[in-house]
Amino acid sequence: MAHPNVENETPFAFDMMGLSDEDGRPALLLVVKATFVLGDAGLKLADMQTPVQWSAKPWGRPGESSDKYEPESALSKVATDVALIGHAYPPQKGATESLVALQVGPLKKAVRVIGERTWFKSMGRVTATKPLPFDKLPLTWERAFGGWDRTDAGKPSFEPRNPVGVGFRSSPRHFEEGLKLPNLEDPATAPLREFGQRVVPAGFGFTSPHWQPRAKYGGTYDEAWNRTRKPLVPKDFDRRFFNAAAPGLTAPGYLRGDEPVIIAGASPRGRLSFSLPGQATPVVTLELQRGETSKPPMNLDTVILDADADQVLLIWRGHAVLDDGLHDVRSLTLTAEGTSLRKVP
């Protein structure tokens, strides 16, 4: 059967994917993505709209680094994720520490940023060097507490909340001269002061499916699942698994899309203060083969703030459970109301 005709009457990027829900029913995933640029007067629609990405875009080698952008193929998110991409900038030249603070509507999060430090041993005592001054530092999970301890090659261990981080050792006995300390720390919890100490990984970026606490929502893959449920997800699968924001950056529900935003310490321009564009939720109208129409609910479930590129990306997502998935759809129309549809001149 032919692919359905798609009429995108908006300036936004759109894509769809056929997949299955938790019970194996055919579903059609619908994703709308809008890119705005941040200027002195606030947000305006970008000329070039970022396409929907079904695959993750990692910062480094796939599988070994954190993701700059998550794959946008989740069936559903139960609330809005917020992610901040960028660098930390110190308050003045020669500073060895700064604070990056983010507020989006009801969400607030801060991260302490510290210059490069390493562990060394002197007179039998393990101590951290004094932090070095920095001009800017990336706000990636690689700079937060975590990583692997391979001191015992037969029993390597890792920090389940951030396997790509730095500074983790499962035991104070696993000393390594020159081991780096994390640059990013959680100011609301105890700082890293002792070798072998475990602290809270701090960051603003997307987390991966196998990291905790996200992984715990994936369900129980045991012998009972293998006998009675495979290849479907376990019965105790929780859709919170699809939310990929850093701890503290998933909203209590869906954001409206007009919330005030404050970003401090993550731009050479200084403190950024603006509001999300207030774009009305796009409407996807499906015309089905049997003559009926359907308008699946669309939710603003991802807000990406790219302070490096001065961009804001909004993602609305919805899905429709259909008897035969994509083949049930004759045509699809995407519309959006609002005054935010003017493009940057």
Provide the residue range defining the domain that includes 32: 5-81+244-260+269-335
Question: What is the number of domains present in the chain?
Answer: 2
Residues 293 and 252 in one domain: yes
Residues 96 and 14 in one domain: no
Looking at residue 141, what is its pLDDT?
99
Mean pLDDT by 10 residues, the chain (345 residues): 84 96 95 96 94 97 95 98 98 96 98 98 90 98 97 93 96 91 97 94 98 97 95 96 98 98 96 96 94 95 98 98 88 82 41
Residues 167 and 102 in one domain: yes
Residues 38 and 65 in one domain: yes
Residue 131 within any structural domain of the chain: yes
Given a contact cutoff of 8 angstroms between Cβ atoms, the answer to whether 211 and 160 are in contact is: yes
Residues 172 and 105 in one domain: yes
Residues 6 or more apart whose Cβ sits within 8 Å of residue 202: 111, 112, 144, 145, 182, 184, 185, 186
Q: What is the pLDDT of residues 190-223, one digit of tens each?
A: 999 999 999 999 999 999 999 999 999 999 999 9
Residues 77 and 92 in one domain: no
Residues 251 and 281 in one domain: yes
Residues 65 and 100 in one domain: no
Residues 48 and 106 in one domain: no
Residues 326 and 252 in one domain: yes
Looking at residue 2, what is its pLDDT?
61
Residues 61 and 99 in one domain: no
Looking at residue 276, what is its pLDDT?
97
Residue 15 within any structural domain of the chain: yes
Residues 22 and 94 in one domain: no
Residue 72 within any structural domain of the chain: yes
Residue 31 within any structural domain of the chain: yes
Looking at residue 342, what is its pLDDT?
44
Residue 77 within any structural domain of the chain: yes
The pTM (predicted TM-score) of the whole model is 0.94
Residue 22 within any structural domain of the chain: yes
Residue 217 within any structural domain of the chain: no
